[in-house]
Structure 1
Amino acid sequence: MSQKPAAVPVAGSSRNTGRNTGRFTGVWIALLSSAVFGLSGSFAKGLMEAGWSPAAAVTLRMAGAALVLMVPAVIAMRGRWVLLRTNWIPILLFGLFGVAACQLFYFLAVQRLDVGVALMLEYLAPVLIVLVLWARHQRRPRIPTIFGTLLALMGLMAVLDLTGTTSIDPIGVLWGLGAAVGLTVYFFVSARVDGALPPIMLSAGGLTVGAAMMAVIGALEILPMDMTFTEVNLAGMQTQWWVALGGMILLSTVIAYVTGIMAARALGSKVASFISLTEVLFAVLWAWLLLGELPGLIQLLGGMMIVGGVVLVRLDELRRPVKA
């Protein structure tokens, strides 16, 4: 078989090389996002054990992150304020559904279901994304994507270690599915928003909208807004409440959302959403390190299954000419 001379550059191949390099980088950014997102559970648990309500922790998490991001977001805009006018709908959708509604519906589901069941329902989002793309493009997912979907969900179930009898409340299931819809919107908006809008501005704008929504919910007393300013237990030590809150704001929100949007733009909504499943694995590992909750063998096996499912979907995505 003849070969092209090595000295002759091929424009198409160079573009493909650059695209593949960007996607490879996107995978690592997505994993970083999952890792820091996974920290939120450990930080929040310390606050809640000290007397904080979930709604109060979520509201201050969003408001604090929005304040931190606003100045660099304004600098990143470089005076291109027309981008806010042309992207106000994606920012609104991102804040209402991808940020506020996703977390609110999850907490409402937790009130009626076991935490593991509620989280399992929320992470049906990757399956919803595959179904939406299937319906929109009238193209059935290929075998690797279908198998990777099933494998990742089985791994997620193993990581959550859903054993014993669990009470299933229909209203709680609806709230859990609502959280999945919110997470689905998060990935679609992150991937489809105008690429000229800096990811940091999308994060700041969405978090501002989400914090405002949660403030309204608190004012209407839909959820309690309880806060205490005592020491919290973190990593086996007693530390100030603002350490846990600051970690949740800076690591699990500011860095997590910005890198999550960057990953969704680089990889597309489908692949980014599947890689986000590793957040559960990271959450288990962080809980082990910070809270002394040692994961079991079944959870480690589930983590390997999640990674295997992500790899299958990723390989299938690379074979497609159009990014989903």
Structure 2
Amino acid sequence: MATDSNNASATTAGIAVASLMAVGSMTSVQLGAALSTPTLESFGPMGTTWLRLAWAALLLALITRPRILSYSWPHWRGAILLGAAMAGMTLCYFQAVIRIPLGLATAIDFLGPLGVAAFGMRRAWHAVWPVLALVGVVLLVHDGSDWTVDPVGALFALGAACGWATYILLMKRVGQAFTGLQGLTMSLAVAAVVATPWGLAENGGQIPLPVLGITIGLAILVPLLPYALEMMALRRMSTRAFGILMSAEPALGTLVGFAVLGQALSPAQLAGIALVVVASLGAVAGE
């Protein structure tokens, strides 16, 4: 009995730590997004994304010193697939937001983790959490105006959603296959290579020195710190609970906008935040 109690306590503690890691990841993403605006406007989203991935891979490689020659083909396959998913979801998302409203792109993009959460349901009543999260996100991102959907933009957003879902599933697998953050290092290197043609094409291969310095800091905020936290979180919790927890990111962004930028919150957004919080707490409690 004592052993069962200790195991339950350890599991509960692990899930609590994983939840805090997920919140830390989302906070870093929102802060990184807020600080990225000038660079995105001056250097372009594709080029900025490429440099972020490249710097993140280099910095993490210096820290983890991956044993490249010791990895088997299954290790490499997982890293290659995860890296491709990282690059694909990021590049597709930025292609979407230049064609359709940001709120609509966010709502479509969230279909990825929502699908992972629904796919991982163990009981029928667990469906209530992804449904609540979906309703909450829609309330958060819809400002009441009419959305005119560009079909190309919507397709890119769907591509980003597929990439996000694939990323969650592969991140858990790669995190379990590699020790420490070596799997993340290899995956980021692959993502940087995949994004290179897009980044170079956007700016003709010309990279101003100030941009190189700025993107080092941006790379730490996004993607290095969030990806590392998410890999460690997924080692401690299911992809279902993690997928629902990700619905808190739009809510967190809305709260940051209110606290930092003084952006007013509508009653619908307040209701959306409440629904997302309830869904996230319910998903974690059901672990």
TM-score (norm 1): 0.79
Aligned to 1:29: 21
Partner SS for 1:163: coil
2:105 is the alignment partner of 1:118: yes
CA distance in 1, matches of 2:204, 2:284: 41
Matches within 5 A, 1:123-202: 123-133=110-120, 141-143=123-125, 145-193=126-174, 195=176, 197-202=178-183
Deviations 1:289-310 (A, max 9, x none): 55x2524134343222211111
Q: Tell whether the 8 Å contact from 1:46 to 1:244 is kept in structure 2 after alignment.
A: no
Q: Among residues 257, 269, 279, which one is paired with 1:309 in the alignment?
A: 279
CA distance in 2, matches of 1:225, 1:20: 51
Letter aligned with residue 43 of structure 2: W
Q: Tell whether the 8 Å contact from 1:30 to 1:263 is kept in structure 2 after alignment.
A: yes
Letter aligned with residue 127 of structure 1: L
Q: Tell whether the 8 Å contact from 1:102 to 1:179 is kept in structure 2 after alignment.
A: yes
Deviates more, 1:20-29 or 1:61-70: 20-29
2:77 is the alignment partner of 1:89: yes
Deviations 1:59-95 (A, max 9, x none): 1111111111001121xx5x59534544111111111
CA distance in 2, matches of 1:277, 1:131: 13
Q: Among residues 29, 36, 40, which one is paired with 1:44 in the alignment?
A: 36
CA distance in 2, matches of 1:277, 1:260: 14
Matches within 5 A, 1:165-244: 165-193=146-174, 195=176, 197-219=178-200, 221=201, 223=202
- Total equivalences in the alignment: 286
* CA gap 1:227/1:107 in 2 versus in 1, 3 angstroms: farther
Aligned to 2:263: 294
Q: Among residues 49, 55, 60, which one is paired with 1:64 in the alignment?
A: 55
* CA gap 1:53/1:289 in 2 versus in 1, 3 angstroms: farther
CA distance in 2, matches of 1:119, 1:244: 26
Deviations 1:218-266 (A, max 9, x none): 45x3x55687859xxxxxxxxx766753432112222111001111121
Q: Among residues 95, 110, 122, which one is paired with 1:108 in the alignment?
A: 95
Aligned to 1:6: none
Q: Tell whether the 8 Å contact from 2:15 to 2:284 is kept in structure 1 after alignment.
A: no
CA distance in 2, matches of 1:205, 1:295: 42
Deviations 1:20-44 (A, max 9, x none): 2211111111111111122232122
Deviations 1:174-218 (A, max 9, x none): 211111111111111122236251352222212111111111234
Unmatched 5+ stretches in structure 2: none
The structure with the greater share of residues assigned to helix is 2
Deviations 1:130-181 (A, max 9, x none): 34336xxxx6x422x2221121112212222332111112232221111111
Unmatched 5+ stretches in structure 1: 1-8, 231-239, 319-324
Q: Tell whether the 8 Å contact from 1:43 to 1:245 is kept in structure 2 after alignment.
A: no
Letter aligned with residue 61 of structure 2: M
CA distance in 2, matches of 1:84, 1:293: 51
Aligned to 1:256: 226
CA distance in 2, matches of 1:33, 1:17: 24
Identity, % of aligned pairs? 22
* CA gap 1:106/1:93 in 2 versus in 1, 3 angstroms: same
Higher Cα Rg, which structure: 1
Partner SS for 1:38: helix
